[in-house]
Amino acid sequence: MVKIANIELGEFPLLLAPMEDVSDPPFRKVCKANGADLMYTEFISSEGLIRDAAKSVQKLDIFDYERPIGIQIFGSDIDSMREAAIVSAQAGPDLIDINYGCPVKNVACKGAGAALLRDVPKMVKMTEEIVKAVDLPVTVKTRLGWDENTKYIVETAERLQDIGIKALSIHGRTRVQMYKGEADWSLIAEVKNNPRMHIPIFGNGDIDTPQKALEYRNRYGVDGIMIGRASIGHPWIFNEVKHYMATGELLAPPTLEERVEVCRQHFTHSLEWKGEKLGIFEMRRHYTNYFRGLSHFKPLRMKLVQSEDINEIYDTLEEIAQNMSYVGV
């Protein structure tokens, strides 16, 4: 049984990675229904939280059916991060996660996210202050290093564990790599196999099939796997991985009707959480991912992304289910 402090996650948990503009409550709801064991909010700006910025505060919304759920925060100032952790804890999550892995410019170039990989002493100090400030388990998500010359993850993991984090998720790339090239899980395995380490180590990067998930579990010995981009438009990947690990057999791919139904649920949750206007607008980024592989999808996609009428969108989804030929991917 893998545990983060007293949170039981099963024998080999599958985690939904925190993703900006993706892992909001509507998306998390369909991922939870399809097998995700632990999920995180979108990453939340510490400065936004302590200044009570509406967009940041809204990201604190969590629901009991999501549990266990972690709130992930990022920032560059230690005092602000400590305050943001306290605010986040008041929202009632099961854990607080610190983002030391985001590589995008508007985060890393402001000294937050993966930028802390260039200043490990500050990373450790920041983490220590957050651990002291909240009564919840604190976890960390990070990368191997800033670049090829700074892959200090083995030592960094020890130092973070020593000041009290309860789990560590590692993306197998450096910040300079962004999402290019192949993720290197050998250093993740080195962290996991370090006899000094006793907290759960979760691997992240490039897991997009059940076969690869099983291969990486067996080869690298991690305690669980975090899945990000492969879940977008394909939230059933969690159940697919679990089924394959349990039986050695692949689940049949979702039928077109099943794809439409999950997309419909996602849209409905989006309307419920965001309201009509924003719910319609922000769902538009997901349609292509849900229906990748459909022949002649373009005209119906245009209807979905141009319509501002809820009933018309539902009708278009039904039209997809009834009338289109499907090519599996």
Catalytic residues: 102
Neighbours of 323 (CB within 10 A): 10
Nearest to 41, CA basis, from 97, 103, 102: 97
Neighbours of 267 (CB within 10 A): 22
Cβ contact 134:85 at 8 Å: yes
Strand partners, 294: 326
Cβ contact 279:291 at 8 Å: no
Strand partners, 202: 169, 224
Cβ contact 178:103 at 8 Å: yes
- DSSP class of 255: P
Cβ contact 18:105 at 8 Å: no
3-class state of residue 319 by DSSP: helix
